[in-house]
Structure 1
Amino acid sequence: MPLPEAKPPDGVTLFKQQCATCHTTNLSDAVRQGPSLLGIVGKSAGKADGFRYSTGFAKADFVWDEARLDAYLANPQATVPGSIMAYRQPKAETRAAIIAYLKELN
């Protein structure tokens, strides 16, 4: 009997596996290496209260949307020069699932 086809992980699972070490999705947990991503879609970049941003983000002048998040997750330093985030996600479908989850948090 063949095994059932593996189901791809959803955005919540991917976020927990790949992002939650550095980011929270609420404002009650202590700030981690990165800012909380609660309500990130539609927020101005580099402006979260209580978080000290890198030089690149201190100069950022844009609002997070799906396209900007996608580009940033693919290559943070190319999207925001001076960003110190080391994570890069080359798979478009993984980025899309994480972004879909982040949109649910708005």
Structure 2
Amino acid sequence: MYQGTLAAGLILALTAGMALAEGDAAKGEKVFRKCKACHMVGEGAENRVGPVLTGVVGREIASAEGFDYSDALKELAAADGTWTPEELGHFLENPKSFASGTKMSFPGLRKEEERADVIAYLASFSGGELIIGRS
């Protein structure tokens, strides 16, 4: 059991590392401005129209405490389980196509570079030292 957990953690860390190598967190902070109306990230962040995104990279899908997820994301959680950088990339490209029935109205980030940048930015918040998205 422990070895499997360790192996999964290493795979996740390597995958996140690859995404970070492809993305620029500083540029991702700018891209995240498109997300701030609905999401917060960082220490003290709270659910809004969308869930808190602190720790989302590597987190179980549909698992932010206190957020009422759509059935579409609950089904993804049951099937896929985790927001890997790849899963997040596909979701952010076209949320409605990736999770038909999602409540997320955002049309998506069409540019692969923007998706990689915002994922790198989100990955930089393991516990969050900065609150982003608070009005």
Give the TM-score taking structure 1 as reference length.
0.83
User: Residues 27 and 104 (structure 1 numbering): CA distance in 2 closer, same or farther, change over 3 Å?
Assistant: closer
Q: What SS class does the counterpart of residue 36 from structure 1 fall into?
A: coil
For structure 1, the 5+ residue unaligned runs are 1-8
Give the number of aligned pairs.
Answer: 97
Q: Does structure 2 conserve the Cα–Cα contact (< 8 Å) formed by 1:45 and 1:64?
A: yes
Residue 18 of structure 1 pairs with residue 37 of structure 2: no
Find the residue that maps to 2:76 and give its secondary structure.
coil
What's the counterpart of residue 52 of structure 1? Answer: 68
Identity of aligned residues (%): 33
Conserved in 2, the CA contact under 8 Å of 1:27 and 1:36? no
CA RMSD of aligned residues (A): 1.5
Find the counterpart in structure 1 of residue 123 from structure 2.
103
Which of 93, 98, 101 aligns to 1:74? It is 93
- Which letter maps to 2:65? D
After superposing on structure 2, the runs of 4+ consecutive aligned residues of structure 1 that deviate more than 3 Å are: none
* More relative contact order, 1 or 2 (CA 8 Å, 6+ apart): 2
| Cα contact 1:25–1:38 (8 A) shared by 2 | yes
Structure 2 gaps of 5+ residues are: 1-25, 127-135
Q: What is the alpha-carbon distance in structure 2 between the residues aligned to residue 29 and residue 66 of structure 1?
A: 21
Whole-angstrom distance in 1 between the partners of 2:123 and 2:42: 13
